[in-house]
Structure formats: C-alpha cells, structure tokens
C-alpha cells in the first residue's frame, strides 16, 4: 500500500477502544504519525505498541478533553513533539439512552461535556496548527473529521439529548467547513449507525437490554468499517473534499 499520509501527523481522540482505536491503526497504516488521545493510559500504550509492531509511529497523550486546559495541552504537546498537525479526528463520544422523564441529569451533562464541549476544546486548539499545516504540507491540505452518528440526522424517542449533541456536531461541522475550506482545511463529518463497540455497555440497566433487543437482528458495523470511511476522506487529493459520509449497518432502517 502506498503511504499516502507519509510525513503527516494525525491526532485521534477517544482512541483507547472502538472506532478511535481502529482509526488510529488505519491512519498509521497510511503512513501518518498517530497521536492517540484518551483517558485510559494503559489502553493507549497497548494501542501504541500495536501500531509500532506494525511498523508505524505512535505517540500517547492521556488527557480528559472535557477539561479545556487538558485538551489544549494535549494538542500542543503533539504539535511540539512533531512540529506539525495535519489531521484531527474528533471521535470521543458517549451515548445515553432513555425516556427524558426518567433520565438522570448527570447522564445528559456527560453527553454535553464529551460530545460537544470536548470536541470544541480540541477543535479550537487544533485549528491554528491545521491552518499552518495546510500551507506547508506537500499534500497541500489538512483535515478535521468529526465522528457524529445517524443520531445526528434522525431523532427518535429515547435519544433526545444524544440527538441534541449529534445534530449540533453536524451543524458545527458544516459551518466550520464553510469558514476554513478556502484555506485548504477540509472539515468533514462521518455518521455511523450501529457499531459493535463499548458504547452500549455504558447504558443503564433496563435501557441497555432494550437497545440490545432492538439491534439483536442487525449485523453491526465493525469499528474498522468507520475507520475506512475516515481514511477515505483524509487520503483524497487536495482538490477533493468529502464533506459527509453516512454509513449504516445493512439491516438498519432508522
């Protein structure tokens, strides 16, 4: 495989499992130096070891992106270590499901903190570096990819606040695309449907079982399927901007 991202640096948030882990490995396979960011240091180190065993370069950054200072410091540490930042994948996210009347406010707050504020913290810190990279990269382009969800397009009972966060991510992505696209920073959104990750294991008892029944007859997407979409976006020639990819499991109807 041609190393289409050689001499570039990528940062992936929520990289300790699932889509983030698969995306980091995919970008490393394309030749990018990959900075893996998350809260679970041990898992990040294990991922970095796998990337290195495959011949890639990985840099571990343990941080909580819901903390503005930690998020900014994480981004700056990557740029300082490698002198640039070409690709950012905002993947970190949490999902809470359940009727609004029964939902704990703490669950709503957590979704807002991670899915919205965390993404904003990383994006704000990364944008100056992406703008610079777009000017001096041999590829002539930089990329910001936000991982949203089908929940950012279709609202359903029981997912109101999750919908709020993901519809917000979609709107933010589109507005930012229009702001910086002319400066060769491509801003894109990937909206996965049901994916076989840890996300559903964090749901409350009762809610989790209901979700498992709903998706029981669906062959779930694998994290690698979403990572493929991200890699496709960021490996296009600079003349091509893939603004949005919606990818559902084949049997998913919602």
CA dihedral 130, 135, 140, 145 (to 10 degrees): 10
Residue 252 scores a pLDDT above 70? yes
CA 217 to CA 57: how far, in whole Å? 39
CA 199 to CA 210: how far, in whole Å? 14
pTM > 0.85: yes or no:
yes
What pLDDT digit, counting tens, does each position of 109-153 carry?
Answer: 999 999 999 999 999 999 999 999 999 998 999 999 999 999 999
Residues 24-53, buried b or exposed e (16+ Cβ, 10 A)? bbbbbbbbbbbbbbbeeeebbeebbeebee
Q: Which of 74, 162, 195, 231 is catalytic?
A: 162
Beta bridge partners of 90: 146
Q: Do the Cβ atoms of 86 and 144 come closer than 8 Å? A: no
What pLDDT digit, counting tens, does each position of 19-33 carry?
Answer: 999 999 999 999 999
CA 172 to CA 187: how far, in whole Å? 10
Q: pLDDT value at position 217?
A: 81
Domains of the chain: 9-247 (3.40.50.720)
Q: Do the Cβ atoms of 121 and 66 come closer than 8 Å? A: yes
The SS3 call for residue 117 is helix
What pLDDT digit, counting tens, does each position of 165-219 carry?
Answer: 999 999 999 999 999 999 999 999 999 999 987 666 666 666 666 666 667 688 9
Q: pLDDT value at position 218?
A: 86
Q: How many Cα atoms within 13 Å fall on the side-chain side of residue 94?
A: 19
Residue 101 scores a pLDDT above 80? yes
Count of residues in the chain: 254
CA 56 to CA 50: how far, in whole Å? 9
Residues 224-244, buried b or exposed e (16+ Cβ, 10 A)? ebbbbbbbebbbbeeeebbee
H or E element that contains 229: helix 223-234
| Residue appearing with tokens 């992936």 | 12
Any catalytic annotation for residue 232? no
Please tell me the chain's helix, strand, coil percentages from 3-state DSSP, rounded to the nearest 5. Answer: 50, 15, 35
């Amino acid at each position: 495989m041609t190393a289409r991202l050689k001499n570039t640096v990528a940062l992936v948030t929520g990289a300790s499992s699932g889509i983030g882990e698969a995306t980091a490995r995919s970008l490393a396979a394309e030749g990018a130096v990959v900075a893996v960011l998350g809260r679970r240091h041990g898992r990040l180190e294990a991922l970095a070891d796998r990337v290195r065993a495959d011949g890639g370069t990985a840099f571990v950054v343990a941080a909580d992106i819901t903390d503005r200072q930690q998020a900014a410091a994480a981004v700056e540490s990557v740029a300082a270590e490698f002198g640039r930042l070409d690709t950012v994948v905002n993947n970190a996210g949490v999902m809470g499901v359940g009727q609004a009347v029964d939902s704990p406010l703490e669950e709503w707050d957590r979704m807002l903190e991670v899915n919205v504020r965390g993404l904003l913290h990383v994006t704000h810190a990364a944008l100056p570096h992406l703008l610079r990279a777009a000017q001096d990269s041999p590829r002539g382009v930089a990329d910001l990819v936000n991982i949203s969800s089908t929940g950012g397009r279709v609202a359903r009972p029981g997912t109101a606040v999750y919908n709020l966060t993901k519809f917000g991510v979609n709107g933010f992505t589109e507005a930012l695309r229009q702001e910086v696209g002319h400066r060769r920073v491509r801003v894109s959104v990937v909206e996965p449907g049901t994916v076989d990750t840890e996300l559903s294991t964090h749901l409350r008892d009762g809610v989790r079982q209901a979700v498992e029944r709903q998706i029981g007859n669906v062959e779930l997407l694998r994290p690698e399927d979403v990572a493929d979409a991200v890699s496709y976006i960021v490996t296009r020639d600079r003349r091509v901007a893939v603004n949005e990819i919606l990818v559902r499991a084949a049997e998913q109807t919602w």
